[in-house]
Structure 1
Amino acid sequence: MPYSQRSVLGLSAVGFHRIAYTQWGRENADRTVVCAHGLTRNGRDFDALALKLADTHRVACPDVVGRGKSDWLANPALYGYPQYLADMAVLIGRLGVEQVDWVGTSMGGLIGMMLAAQPNSPIRRLVINDVGPLVPKEGLERIADYVGRDPVLEDIAGVEAYLRFVLMGFGRLSDECWRHLAEHSARRRPDGRFGLAYDPGIAVPFKAQPIGNVDLWPLWDRITCPVLVLRGADSDILLAETAEEMATRGPKARVAEFAHVGHAPALMDDSQIGVVTQFLNAEG
């Protein structure tokens, strides 16, 4: 299934910036899905899922500003959810549809929650991958330890080794999957070596204040669309008790848990992809 690299302009307080996205499937597909990645990741994380969906859906996988092929913001203090929500609203407008389904991993899941909670939201069905309305301090502290690092790596093998360490929560991925992640997570430096495909400045607002629990339950309780929650059984970001409560209040989500995975299920193997596609293909 062919895909194309596209972009749309977003606007921040310091000017316009380019939001890159990968689009799969037919332009005139009956349904459109937006797949949004985690804090330090990019839209190519969803290639395997998008390939499965592309026969029946148009799939747009953005690189959130500061990541992947998107522009970096001139003022890193502007990296945050107000900017991300505005940019995703622009993307939905570019896609030209009244409704979209949303698949979001970690940060992308929080973006999806925030969009789905708004009045007149265009979100039809929501998949939240390993994050929830209560994000515990301990998990955030672990992420804070590596977000914003700008390692200098000699080659793609070095990028892969680094990702296998910081993303070990993705679980038991094949060598092919790790290589795919590495190839799309690498940024060629002027000296010919490699860095990571994100702006280290994304850490500025993340570390601007003391880390504590993040409580978004009031937001969760405003969501009315059908919701699927995915959880890695060993996750330190979406705790088991939080997932259980998500199933009993607000939109009363369906919860699927995957063994031998932490934060977060990579959505690269058939078992995880199958749960998502079944939910998105359901009627109603």
Structure 2
Amino acid sequence: MPMSERSFLGLSPAGFHKVAYTQWGRDDAARTAVCVHGLTRNGRDFDALALDLADRYRVACPDVVGRGRSDWLPVPALYGYPQYCADMNALIARLGVAELDWVGTSMGGLIGMMLAAQPNSPIRRLVINDVGPFVAKAGLQRIADYVGKDPVFEDIAAVESYLRFVLMGFGRLPDECWRHMAEHGARRLPDGRFGLAYDPGIGDAFKTQPIGDVDLWAVWDRIRCPVLVLRGADSDLLTAGTAEEMGRRGPGARVVEIAGTGHAPSLMVEEQKAVVRSFLLEG
């Protein structure tokens, strides 16, 4: 299936910025899906899932601003969900479709929730991967302990070793998946060494205000499209209680627990990809 690297311009109070995305499938595909990654990751995390969907879908996998191949914002305080939602709206406009399906991991799931809750939302079906309308302080604290740091690595193998530790919640993955994430999750530094492929400034929000629980139930209750919620069985970000409540209220989500994973299921292995594909194609 064809794959191409593309970009568009987003706009913040600091000016225009490039938002990169990878597109899989044909421009004239009958269906469109957007897949959005977690806080410190990038759109290439979805290569395996996008390839699986590309026989039926055009799949766009953006690098949220400050990550991957997208620009960094000159003012770190601008990183936040209002900017992310505005940029994703620009992507939807670029794709030129009246409706689309959304797959979001963690931060990408929250962006999807916020967009799906809007009146006249174009989101037809929504997959939320290991996040919900209530996020406990403990899970956020774990993320805050590493996000925003700017480690330097001698080679890609060292990047891979680091990711295997901080992303252990992804579960057991083939070696080629970890190498793929390392290669696309690193940036070459001027001295030839490597840093992580995100702006450390995205972590400033964790430093400027006390970390506490996040309650977005009012957003959840406004969603009307069908929703699939994936929960890592050992997740500290999406608790079993919150996932159960997501099945009872608002859109009444279908909840699937993924054994052997924490935060968050990778969506790179066959059984996880199959669950997502089945849900999207049944509608």
Tell me if both proteins adopt one fold, taking TM over 0.5 as the criterion: yes
1:213-243, CA deviations, whole angstroms, 9 ceiling, x for partnerless residues? 0000010000000000000000000000000
Please report how far the alpha carbon of residue 2 of structure 1 lies from its aligned counterpart in structure 2 after TM superposition.
2.3
| Aligned-partner residue type, residue 139 of structure 1 | G
CA distance in 2, matches of 1:101, 1:203: 29
Please report how far the alpha carbon of residue 206 of structure 1 lies from its aligned counterpart in structure 2 after TM superposition.
3.0
User: Could you tell me which residue of structure 1 aligns to residue 193 of structure 2?
Assistant: 193
| 3-state SS of 2:9 partner | strand
| 3-state SS of 2:267 partner | coil
CA distance in 2, matches of 1:102, 1:28: 18
Please report how far the alpha carbon of residue 208 of structure 1 lies from its aligned counterpart in structure 2 after TM superposition.
1.6
CA distance in 1, matches of 2:108, 2:198: 15
User: Could you tell me which residue of structure 2 aligns to residue 51 of structure 1?
Assistant: 51
CA distance in 2, matches of 1:221, 1:167: 30
CA distance in 1, matches of 2:219, 2:152: 39
| Aligned-partner residue type, residue 126 of structure 2 | L
User: Could you tell me which residue of structure 2 aligns to residue 210 of structure 1?
Assistant: 210
| Aligned-partner residue type, residue 227 of structure 1 | V
What is the TM-score when the length of structure 2 is the normalising length?
0.99
User: Could you tell me which residue of structure 2 aligns to residue 222 of structure 1?
Assistant: 222
CA distance in 2, matches of 1:29, 1:56: 7
User: Could you tell me which residue of structure 2 aligns to residue 20 of structure 1?
Assistant: 20
CA distance in 1, matches of 2:151, 2:29: 41
CA distance in 2, matches of 1:76, 1:213: 22
Ranges of 4+ aligned residues in structure 1 off by more than 3 Å: none
User: 1:126-275 to 2 correspondence within 5 Å?
Assistant: 126-275=126-275
| Aligned-partner residue type, residue 173 of structure 1 | L
| 3-state SS of 1:114 partner | helix
Question: For the aligned residues, what is the CA RMSD?
Answer: 0.5
| Aligned-partner residue type, residue 205 of structure 1 | A
Matched residue pairs, number?
283
- What 5-or-longer segments of structure 1 have no aligned partner? none
CA distance in 1, matches of 2:243, 2:223: 15
1:64-108, CA deviations, whole angstroms, 9 ceiling, x for partnerless residues? 000000000000000000000000000000000001100000000
| 3-state SS of 2:248 partner | coil
User: Could you tell me which residue of structure 2 aligns to residue 277 of structure 1?
Assistant: 277
1:199-222, CA deviations, whole angstroms, 9 ceiling, x for partnerless residues? 000011232210010000010000
| Identity of matched residues, % | 77
| Aligned-partner residue type, residue 37 of structure 1 | H
1:91-149, CA deviations, whole angstroms, 9 ceiling, x for partnerless residues? 00000000110000000000000000001101000000000000000000000000011
Please say if residues 2 and 26 of structure 2, whose CA atoms lie closer than 8 Å, have aligned partners that are also in contact.
no
CA distance in 1, matches of 2:207, 2:9: 27
CA distance in 2, matches of 1:70, 1:59: 18
Please say if residues 231 and 238 of structure 2, whose CA atoms lie closer than 8 Å, have aligned partners that are also in contact.
yes
User: Could you tell me which residue of structure 2 aligns to residue 106 of structure 1?
Assistant: 106
| Aligned-partner residue type, residue 108 of structure 1 | G
| Aligned-partner residue type, residue 76 of structure 1 | P
Query: Do structure 1's residue 80 and structure 2's residue 111 form an aligned pair?
Result: no
Query: Do structure 1's residue 66 and structure 2's residue 66 form an aligned pair?
Result: yes
What is the TM-score when the length of structure 1 is the normalising length?
0.99
CA distance in 2, matches of 1:161, 1:241: 33
